[in-house]
Amino acid sequence: MQDTFNLGWKLASVIRGALHPQILETYQQERLPVAERLIALDKRICRGMCSRRNADGETFHGAFDEDHKRALEEENSSASGLAVIYQPNLLVTSVAHHQTTNLRIGARIPSMLIINQSDAQPRHLQHILPSTGEWSLIIFGGDIADPRQMQRLNHLEETLCHPESIIQRLNNHASAMRRDSAFVRIYLIHCAERLRIELHDLPAVFRPWTEDNGVDYSRVWVDEKAYHHAGGGQLYKSFGIGPEGCMVLLRPDQHLSFLSDMDDGKGLERFLTSITPEESHQSATFQDL
């Protein structure tokens, strides 16, 4: 299933003209090593099961259980698929430009409980991210109650929403093909006290409006303890993100593609430009501004 999804969203992106055909090469680069590890795991378990007939039942049973347990622990990332880490390729940058302790480029982002800025309802991070072929740009805004941090957030919006930015052109292309769709959906997760932040004081990119649905309240979240639910308030600590924040770009399969500081809008532009067709950015010089 994961092989199919990996290939599916890449094919769809190329067919729609959003990504360069070269990115299709990453399918084999990413999934072949996973398949090889799974086959090796099956062989390892099979060898133990098949050799049982030639061993003393009681003695062998204990030895097999221990080896079986060890094999599953060692290869859990391949068996479950949730801990697979893709090596650098066209869709996975080779260097993180921000130091975090527990976020790794190429890995699937962990799911943590977060609180909606507007209604304080708790949700798991993975539950708010669509699996519809769209990319997700998550801005970990840090303590945006600090005016200096809010200023950085406003500056980032100017970069992301510039008419010639690659994200704007990709989103315009996506919405032209299907109404209200996007290539990159942008989210904000901050660690300021929720009641100190007013949604409509935030940059407009985090509260998009459409004629059919009005304001989208699903874009701003808080790393804060839930009122009527156990948990919450641990995302920044678990991810190793400081109050200065950072930003991550997630692929449609929720694997980290790009990780950098909030101020590195040009770096994000360069990465997205490198994987999109020439016609998507031939008229733009925004990354040089």
* pLDDT: which is higher, 75 or 30: 30
d(CA 233, CA 237): 8
Residue 212 lies in a domain: yes
d(CA 38, CA 80): 10
Identify whether residues 154 and 73 lie together within a single domain.
no
Identify whether residues 76 and 117 lie together within a single domain.
no
Residue 108 lies in a domain: no
Residue 95 lies in a domain: no
d(CA 135, CA 249): 7
Identify whether residues 160 and 117 lie together within a single domain.
yes
Lookup: tokens for 234: 């641990």
Got the DSSP string for 162-221?
-TTSHHHHHHHHHHHHSTT--SEEEEEEE-S-GGG--GGGS-GGGS-EETTTEE-TTSEE
Residue 95 confidence class, pLDDT cut points 50, 70, 90: confident
Residue 77 confidence class, pLDDT cut points 50, 70, 90: low
Range of the domain at 235: 113-288
Identify whether residues 120 and 175 lie together within a single domain.
yes
pLDDT digits (tens, 9 = 90+) for 246-255: 999 999 999 9
pLDDT given at position 253: 96
Rounded to the nearest angstrom, the gap between the alpha carbon of residue 93 and the centroid of all alpha carbons in its chain is: 13
Picking from 80, 105, 131, the residue at the C-terminal end of a domain is 80
Picking from 80, 103, 121, the residue at the C-terminal end of a domain is 80
Identify whether residues 205 and 134 lie together within a single domain.
yes
Identify whether residues 178 and 54 lie together within a single domain.
no
Identify whether residues 198 and 247 lie together within a single domain.
yes
Residue 92 lies in a domain: no
Q: Residue 132 maps to which CATH number?
A: 3.40.30.20
- Report whether pLDDT(245) > 50: yes
Calculate the average pLDDT of the chain: 87
d(CA 140, CA 255): 16
Residue 98 lies in a domain: no
Residue ranges of alpha helices (H) inside 51-196 are: 57-74, 76-80, 125-128, 147-160, 166-177
The number of distinct structural domains making up the chain is 2
- Report whether pLDDT(1) > 70: yes
d(CA 178, CA 173): 9
Q: What percent of the chain has pLDDT over 70?
A: 85
Residue 105 lies in a domain: no
pLDDT digits (tens, 9 = 90+) for 179-237: 778 999 999 999 999 999 999 999 999 999 988 889 999 999 999 999 887 889 999 99
pTM of the entire predicted model: 0.88
Identify whether residues 118 and 232 lie together within a single domain.
yes
Identify whether residues 129 and 184 lie together within a single domain.
yes
d(CA 120, CA 174): 31
